[in-house]
Structure 1
Amino acid sequence: MNVEIREAKYLRLKLGREDNSRQPVSFLVGAPFSLDRGVGVPGIDGFVRIARARVEESGAALLREFDGQLAATAGADQYQTAMSFLYDLLDARAATDVVQKAVLCARKPSAPPFDERDLIPGEWEITRAQRGLARAMQLAPDRFPGPIFTTNFDPLISLALETCGFKVNTVGIPLDGSISALVKMRTSEVDVFHLHGYWRDSATLHRPQQLLSKRPQLQQSLQRHLDNVHLVVMAYSGWDDIFTTAIANCLSDPAFNGTVSWCFYEQDEARVIAQNQRLFEKFEAGIAQSKIAFFRGVDCHSFFDELAGDVFEDAAAGIAASPMPGWQIVTQATLEAEPPLSTAEVLRFFDGAVPALRHAVSPLVPRLSSVDALLPLLRGSVNGGCALQLVRAASGEGKSTALLQVATAAVSGGEWVALYCPGSDAGLNADIVSQLDPSRNWLIVLDDAENYIDELWLAIGKLHALGRKNVFFLLAARDTDWRLKGGEKKSWSTRVNRLDDVTLGSIGEGDIGLIVDAWAAQGEEGLRALGSTASRDARIRKFMDAVGAQDGQPGQGSFFGGLLDTRFGAKGLVDHLVPLLEFLRTRPIEGGTGTLFDALLYIACCHATGMIGLNVRVLAMLCGLPAFRVSGAIMTPLGIELGASEVRGHALTRHKRVADAILVAADRLDADLSAIWPRLIDATVKSSDDEKVGDTFSQIILAGSRLKRDLPQELSESLRDEIAIAAAEAAVVAMPTWTGVISALAHALRSAGHPQEAFDLLRTKLPTLKNTVDKAIVVRGYFYEWSTCAGNLPGRQGSVMDAWLAAISLSDLLPVELTFEQAKMSCAGLGSVFRRLAGDATGTYAKGRRAVIDLGWLAKPDQRATGILAGHQRELDASGISKSADIDQAISWLTDAAFAAQEELQDPLLRNLKEGRLAFTRLKALLLVQK
């Protein structure tokens, strides 16, 4: 086979390419990576010697047999023969002992006896290859995000990564296991997958029958994670294991979009070709499609130093000053080097773009009073011991801008050096924080601090234990999220000087004036809709009134809501967004699938309908990205354009009003909004196969029941109906074992004016309820929805079926507990249907109506239910229907009315749901507790 084997320098050039079309790089490394100049984890000969010593402990006869079998083999076969001997003639524990002794050979001679409770990098002989790879990943985390795949058992790669500030997720893959999901969520994390097992607490694979056994789950998951990735295979023998087979299968698939660079240590091209014919044959399809390239003379122990020298000189110079991956060091020189904002960038910031350092130092961005209040606190802490200052506010109150302006002002004064985390995808490494240069005053600047509470607690604890006094933590957090995530449960004051929190809320007239003046300095585009207001005082008053009008909207910053109203007026925001969305349609997601427009619609669909946002893992799946790349590939560019951000692992827009306007603008651009929700539901379900996607899982799955109500009312009713039904139908397909999705679809159909179709759906699906996993939770809701659908049908029979099914939803026929919410809803619904059935009469149905109203008052009615109950009560009082004497009489009247409805039923299936009268003992017990 004609194969070209290029020199190592070409691989260095390939890895250093700058174009945006390059793929993220992962590595597969083998045994030579852990052995450098005879130091480290021993190779084949060393393993065999350790195995022989273990066999010798078991007797001379076994040793003679062992030596005889080894004499007939060589190389990798000798290693596999030795390990097979241990398994077959000793036991698995003997093989494990050999692996652990081999790994412990990598301990430094001066290291103390190994303590299994901790892995301390300084006690291990970490090789040049391992340090070099970790350094490359630190220099260019976006280019080299991982994961690292290895057939080695040892922890040395993980230890090397830890010395570079990474958090490492070490995963040993069991024999029949799979890589269910990439674990990392931040650029400061790296996943290391041990394909043949890990040296501790994991089975290890050695024998051919283990390495060659079919592992379909692993095969499928490997293929999924290698797609759209550039895999570099280095220091790897290419033996015929599952990973080599997976690579070959991937390369044979025309739909596979990954690439492979395979490295050989041998320098001579002719020898490489002669010694690896079987390997080339295995990769024949990939070679034909140019999906795999081969390189010779690649010494893993010198390659990465050469790579850094050739490609990353500038990056290396910059990263030397920044001790934590994903963090930026900010000095006076850094700030002076920041380019000035363009007019377009200033306008985007005024419209809600996420602030960066450039905005904080720009004279075009006003500095509000909160900054002037915070600066003295910071300056007063110089040399005064470690301190923590928290800025709290709702989303959209300007805390991020204030945080950066305080930080840059402090750094500009020359007393502080700041470490700033510009994204949400970097972790806070407590060890590195505790080792910061004690001769400098360090300012840790962290927005969205609610996501780092445990890491902050650990870092502050280490500083306290060391007696350090030169680190100041300047934090910003969403007030509600800080509490929800346990920020107030930490005893901060026992470890650090916690200054009084600064809470941003109401904004004063002086600050509003500064903002209006900054807008006016940019002319008509700066003022936007406010330009039609002539005087400065009138503009300030208009802005103040708009901010005040936002009060009472939970979870939405009144400042930003007022800003939107002031800058764009009632309908101007949609007009403003249309050209921006057209632009985003032309912007592909780097390294993923689709465009930034697609990603924005997914986010807006969730945020506009009352959710916190879209879970980052779901967004990653929708856009063909690993979760940790969402921040850089999607959220950063969207943040620059219109202020999208992340909260608690969810992507969202700056304000629900923005999300609403995005959907309306997208509809104006003829986007197929009804196709978005089925994709969201499918990705949510698939993501949950790997890991639950948090609070929004059921909200997305069951969204069909509320989308008509929650979607922006500017969308036509017919479109909202179409979207709701599409979402509900997709959920029924995606979650066939859920009852709740059936009820949600029925609700969507009924709300869209199709009550008969909804009624028939619930009737048809009734026999399947016994096989659903959530029936105990939602079966009462199922019958209540069914009753409501029946009540929307024409004629008296519709009302009769409504009454019967609603009564069942309250009854003991359903063997599950009853809640106050269910009791309240069903009583209110029965009041209306009994009124229709009773007409002007004062008989059984009228008493049944009085009964459910009396019972409803005991079911903790909310404001809406109170209004309904009060209306019924007035009518009943006027008609002379007296109140029930007690709960027993009310339930007796309800039982009679339900039985009367059953007697009128013409539908045999409904009649046969219960013979005789319904019982309501659970309802009585619930209401007696309340009474």
Structure 2
Amino acid sequence: MATDGVMTGDQDDLITRLLSLLLKGDKPIAFVTGSGISVGAVEGVGGIVDAMRKMLDTPRSCDRFDQKVIGPSDGERYQQAARFLEYNVGQDALNSAIRAAVLRAYTGKSPTRNSLYRRNDPHELAAAEEQFDQWNLTRATEALGRLLRFVPAERRGPVITTNFDPLLEIAVRKAGAEANFQYFDLDGRLIRGDHRNNIDIAHVHGYWRRGDTLHTVAQLEKERSQLRGSLRESLRDHTVVVIGYSGWDDAFSRSLRDRVQEQEMTGIDLIWCSYAKLTEADFASGLFKELNSAPRTYFYDGIDANEMLPALLDEYLQVAPQPDLDGWLQVTPAFLEKEARRKHDAGQVVGFFDGAEPDWRTALDVRVPRLSLVGALTGRVHRCLNGGLAKRIVAAVAPMGEGKSIALRQATVDLVRARDDITVYWRKPGAALDLNALLAVPHRPGHHILLVSDDGALVVDDLQRLIVACEAHGRTDIHVLLTAQEREWRDRGATGRLRGSLETVPSLGLTEKDGQDLVTAWEEADALGELAGTPEDERADRLVQLAAASYGRRDSALVGAMLQLRYGPMLREHVGAMLQRLEAYSPVGNGTLRECFLMIALLHTAYDPEKDQAAPLSQRVLAQAMGLQPAVAVEWEVTNPLGMEAAVSGYGRELWVRHRSIADAALDISQKQDPGELPALAQRLTTAAVEIHKQTGDFDKDLHAAAYLSLGLVGPNERRFPLESVTAAEAAVAASPWRLSFRTAQIIALRRADRIDDARRFAERTGRELSSMTDGEPEVNFFTAWGTVTGLAGEYASNILLCGIALPSSVQQEDVNVSLLSMGVGLTELHSQSSDAVFLDALRGVVGLMSERQLNRRNLSHLQRHRGYLARFRATELEGADAWAAVQAAVDALTPTADPSLAPVLARAGRSILPLKELR
């Protein structure tokens, strides 16, 4: 519009112009700000004049101040007050007055405003700035801080301010960004920061807690040649927006004017925002007259920064494209429509029912039923987004393979289609959460961000940090939807760590309706299989009951129930056909996809009785075994194709067979087709784990499971894989010959393979080489394993002596239990052969020592046999010191006639059998 012959724009014009520049302009936008954006949070000119007056100590000084500080305008009174203070009290008092004025915006309780001002500790003042939630900000400052945070770096120039206060830096931090802070109290160069995501803010009149602040005409008009030169370079080819700045005729304003007038050389466009309405008189002389004649200079009047900047921010956030998060997929209606158009035939639907990992096409396919968990998840999320549930995180937690993954995808589809007020990000496998990038996603009024993650236990640390960051930055718009495996969720202490922000959705298996929906879907897909032989009205009940019977056990109840009902005795043929298809895939590293699957099956079948769970194969061990570089290639070459084959599922960097029954069938087929295949694979797996350990020095659980594969393959009650177990144990010893724990594992593997003589000879060899072992493994396990072997070989005296050697180094209750109970076997046999009372008394001691201890089922069975033997002779149990003395007497009696093979270890052992700690 024209104002007395001068062209100006209004607020609507300005917002439209700036919005266009921010979205599609070819020049970065730099801001020049003054007190107009911070007045209201910190003192205005009038308030600072009063603060200056309070720096005076005597009534006479105050009277003189009042006589000289007379205006007529607030700006002139400010200049007069600053000059009076500088010449009557000094620059330090002037700095102190500014510090007091700025601290009026600080609301913190510890330290308090008064203590900060009084102590004037630079470190304490800097720390107070970091508490960005403890400062009052004007609407203009807060909006500008957020705008700077969300505008792409390529369209964001520096901010130059004449303010002394830190409010703009605080606003930037509150928005989730960092400020590249500079100040000048004399001359100086404006330097742009190296990190392009940080916001450059330069205080050209000084800073409230460092150096001197500039106020007087003499200070402000002093020539600043370095600043003049650096402004030319820093603002070259920028659009400069001046807002909340009155434009005093000082050195900085003159420098800015000169740069604008050099437009042909600097390429600067200038947008000047005036709070007051501009008249022709304003352009008659001074700075405005000179700027009005400069090219590409535009004036807007009636601009209240506290109204315009929030309005600009709101409009920008409504139309600005949402930034991507690295490793996270933005799920939009357009994305879902594109996925829905992709081919997903009936065979792929049946593949999902067989256990294939779901993808977006599966979630979008109406032939795949939505189980009750889907509605439960979407319902809780709707309540959170609508404000009816004061939680940030909605989680479904259940055992592996219970339909969580497909439910999560289906719930995400339903939420995206139902709401236009959410931006949804789906976590890709292995992705972490970059909090800085997330906080850079703008908070739009009435809009929400929903982060969705399967395998949620893997991101508990990120979620804990997210809760803190959201509270610190005032972000109430960020929510999380996830599913998690129950055991991993519990092991990471997720419920306690996320307490207060977590809403857990119960997942207790199939409902009756779920069962009916699944059976109906199988029928429509002609995939009932063996279940077709069950009466129609009993099919759903069978599925629900079978799934419930194994819910929460070590393997997937739902997947197992589906396979058992649909394939029954035909599962072996189904798995055999899958193994044949795997042979047709391209080679993987130095092997085949079939070999990769069988390695995963070996680990899945191996069982850790102490943890009551099977073990997954990690990507890094598989990559080492197959010669894949880098290890992430496993995701594309192994995990994805095996997932499509309904053979394997991934959990982070772990690989599991979809169900134990699939692994068992595959391993059984391999043993019958080629008896040498699995031993060779077991050898490669174990060697790979040991080699990684030697390279890295760590022994994380994935390396431990593969390195000690032999112990898992042949458990105490299982004899399916004797050759594979021994081969794996031999591979570990070959790769690391002087690790005692590997030697002990080989003794156990040989024993469980019924190769007692081989186990005894290997134990004797290890006994001779015991001083060369390097791993620090407690010798008690070795002596116990050796003692067990000698007992099975009928060498009962050696059994008793080796268990006696093991006892002094026992520090765990279970070690003592095993040694004493194993010794009891030898004592029983020797007494039976000789009727020597020393052995019966020792057995009385063993039983007495074990009677008051808590025993597992296996140890309790041994104890009952020993008690039964004593009962035959009506012998009573011994207790305490008498019991230990009786056991010691038997060992002492046998030592002089010990087998020569025990000489090396007997020479190292002490006389007493008493454990280092008597554990009761």
Alignment of 1:605-624 (within 5 A): 605-610=602-607, 611-623=614-626, 624=628
Aligned equivalents of 1:691 and 1:413: distance in 2?
Answer: 51
Deviations 1:134-166 (A, max 9, x none): xxxxxxxxxxxxxxxxxxxxx97xx68999xxx
Q: 1:705 to 1:387 in 2, by over 3 A?
A: closer
Q: Is the 8 A contact 1:783 1:805 kept in 2?
A: yes
Alignment of 1:548-627 (within 5 A): 548-551=548-551, 553=553, 555-569=554-568, 571-588=569-586, 592-610=589-607, 611-623=614-626, 624-627=628-631
1:443 is aligned to 450
SS, match of residue 906 in structure 2: coil
2:383 is aligned to 380
After superposition, the CA RMSD in angstroms is 3.4
Aligned equivalents of 1:710 and 1:343: distance in 2?
Answer: 44
- Match of residue 635, structure 2, among 631, 635, 658: 631
Q: Is the 8 A contact 2:787 2:802 kept in 1?
A: yes
Q: Is the 8 A contact 2:430 2:653 kept in 1?
A: no
Q: Is the 8 A contact 2:804 2:913 kept in 1?
A: no
2:83 is aligned to none
Instruction: Establish whether residue 345 from structure 1 lines up as the match of residue 348 from structure 2.
Output: yes
Aligned equivalents of 1:917 and 1:631: distance in 2?
Answer: 54
Q: Is the 8 A contact 1:614 1:651 kept in 2?
A: yes
Q: Is the 8 A contact 1:847 1:893 kept in 2?
A: yes
Q: Is the 8 A contact 2:845 2:883 kept in 1?
A: yes
2:667 is aligned to 663
Instruction: Establish whether residue 430 from structure 1 lines up as the match of residue 447 from structure 2.
Output: no
Aligned equivalents of 2:819 and 2:788: distance in 1?
Answer: 10
Q: How far does residue 691 in structure 1 lie from its aligned partner after superposition?
A: 6.0
Q: Is the 8 A contact 1:425 1:631 kept in 2?
A: no
Provide the aligned length of Structure 1 versus Structure 2: 608
Q: Is the 8 A contact 1:635 1:651 kept in 2?
A: yes
SS, match of residue 765 in structure 1: helix
One-letter amino acid matched to 2:701? D
Q: How far does residue 383 in structure 1 lie from its aligned partner after superposition?
A: 4.9
1:790 is aligned to 790
Alignment of 1:121-160 (within 5 A): none
Q: How far does residue 463 in structure 1 lie from its aligned partner after superposition?
A: 3.3
One-letter amino acid matched to 1:781? N
Q: How far does residue 466 in structure 1 lie from its aligned partner after superposition?
A: 3.2
Deviations 1:260-288 (A, max 9, x none): xxxxxxxxxxxxxxxxxxxxxxxxxxxxx
Q: 1:479 to 1:423 in 2, by over 3 A?
A: same
Deviations 1:624-651 (A, max 9, x none): 1323333233212222221523335322
Q: How far does residue 120 in structure 1 lie from its aligned partner after superposition?
A: 7.9
Deviations 1:902-924 (A, max 9, x none): 3443436449825999312326x
Aligned equivalents of 2:774 and 2:905: distance in 1?
Answer: 25
Q: 1:472 to 1:363 in 2, by over 3 A?
A: same
SS, match of residue 443 in structure 2: coil
Aligned equivalents of 1:162 and 1:619: distance in 2?
Answer: 41
SS, match of residue 627 in structure 1: coil
Deviations 1:202-257 (A, max 9, x none): xxxxxxxxxxxxxxxxxxxxxxxxxxxxxxxxxxxxxxxxxxxxxxxxxxxxxxxx
Alignment of 1:270-285 (within 5 A): none
1:198 is aligned to none
Q: How far does residue 698 in structure 1 lie from its aligned partner after superposition?
A: 2.7
Q: How far does residue 704 in structure 1 lie from its aligned partner after superposition?
A: 2.1
Q: Is the 8 A contact 2:378 2:411 kept in 1?
A: yes
Aligned equivalents of 2:495 and 2:909: distance in 1?
Answer: 57
1:768 is aligned to 769
SS, match of residue 380 in structure 1: helix
Deviations 1:463-522 (A, max 9, x none): 3333333332111111221232232343553xx5x4x30121232222111111111111
Q: 1:675 to 1:461 in 2, by over 3 A?
A: same
One-letter amino acid matched to 1:913? L
1:883 is aligned to 877
2:813 is aligned to 820
2:703 is aligned to 697
Deviations 1:712-748 (A, max 9, x none): 86xxx5xx22111111111111122311111111222
Q: 1:325 to 1:632 in 2, by over 3 A?
A: farther
SS, match of residue 444 in structure 1: strand
- Match of residue 516, structure 1, among 514, 519, 543: 519
Q: 1:779 to 1:908 in 2, by over 3 A?
A: closer
Q: Is the 8 A contact 2:606 2:615 kept in 1?
A: no
Aligned equivalents of 1:348 and 1:322: distance in 2?
Answer: 36
Aligned equivalents of 1:336 and 1:367: distance in 2?
Answer: 19
Q: How far does residue 760 in structure 1 lie from its aligned partner after superposition?
A: 1.5
Instruction: Establish whether residue 679 from structure 1 lines up as the match of residue 684 from structure 2.
Output: yes
TM-score, length basis structure 1: 0.61
Q: How far does residue 336 in structure 1 lie from its aligned partner after superposition?
A: 2.1
- Match of residue 849, structure 1, among 839, 843, 848: 843
1:191 is aligned to none
Q: How far does residue 459 in structure 1 lie from its aligned partner after superposition?
A: 3.2
1:893 is aligned to 886
1:838 is aligned to 831
1:47 is aligned to none
Alignment of 1:4-403 (within 5 A): 323-338=324-339, 339=342, 341-384=344-387, 387-403=392-408
1:473 is aligned to 480
Q: How far does residue 693 in structure 1 lie from its aligned partner after superposition?
A: 5.2
SS, match of residue 381 in structure 1: helix
- Which has the larger Rg? 2
Instruction: Establish whether residue 505 from structure 1 lines up as the match of residue 508 from structure 2.
Output: yes
- Match of residue 856, structure 2, among 841, 846, 862: 862
Q: How far does residue 762 in structure 1 lie from its aligned partner after superposition?
A: 1.5
Instruction: Establish whether residue 926 from structure 1 lines up as the match of residue 918 from structure 2.
Output: yes
Q: How far does residue 593 in structure 1 lie from its aligned partner after superposition?
A: 4.1
Deviations 1:693-713 (A, max 9, x none): 521323322332442238986
Q: Is the 8 A contact 2:804 2:819 kept in 1?
A: yes
Instruction: Establish whether residue 708 from structure 1 lines up as the match of residue 707 from structure 2.
Output: no
* Aligned sequence identity (%): 26
Aligned equivalents of 1:581 and 1:322: distance in 2?
Answer: 43
1:483 is aligned to 490
SS, match of residue 442 in structure 1: strand
One-letter amino acid matched to 1:907? P
TM-score, length basis structure 2: 0.61
2:279 is aligned to none
Q: How far does residue 872 in structure 1 lie from its aligned partner after superposition?
A: 1.6
One-letter amino acid matched to 1:333? A
Q: Is the 8 A contact 1:321 1:329 kept in 2?
A: no
Q: 1:340 to 1:420 in 2, by over 3 A?
A: farther
Q: How far does residue 388 in structure 1 lie from its aligned partner after superposition?
A: 1.5
SS, match of residue 528 in structure 2: helix
1:35 is aligned to none
Q: How far does residue 656 in structure 1 lie from its aligned partner after superposition?
A: 2.8
1:250 is aligned to none
One-letter amino acid matched to 1:550? S
Aligned equivalents of 1:331 and 1:725: distance in 2?
Answer: 54
Q: How far does residue 826 in structure 1 lie from its aligned partner after superposition?
A: 1.4
SS, match of residue 421 in structure 1: strand
SS, match of residue 650 in structure 2: strand
Aligned equivalents of 2:806 and 2:733: distance in 1?
Answer: 22
Contiguous gaps of at least 5 residues in structure 1: 1-106, 125-154, 164-318
Contiguous gaps of at least 5 residues in structure 2: 1-155, 182-192, 200-319, 608-613
2:246 is aligned to none
Q: Is the 8 A contact 1:433 1:459 kept in 2?
A: no
Aligned equivalents of 1:710 and 1:574: distance in 2?
Answer: 26
Aligned equivalents of 1:522 and 1:511: distance in 2?
Answer: 17
SS, match of residue 651 in structure 1: strand
Q: 1:882 to 1:465 in 2, by over 3 A?
A: closer
Q: How far does residue 865 in structure 1 lie from its aligned partner after superposition?
A: 1.0
Aligned equivalents of 2:761 and 2:545: distance in 1?
Answer: 51
Q: 1:380 to 1:803 in 2, by over 3 A?
A: closer
- Match of residue 799, structure 1, among 782, 796, 800: 796
Aligned equivalents of 2:346 and 2:905: distance in 1?
Answer: 73
Q: 1:320 to 1:605 in 2, by over 3 A?
A: farther
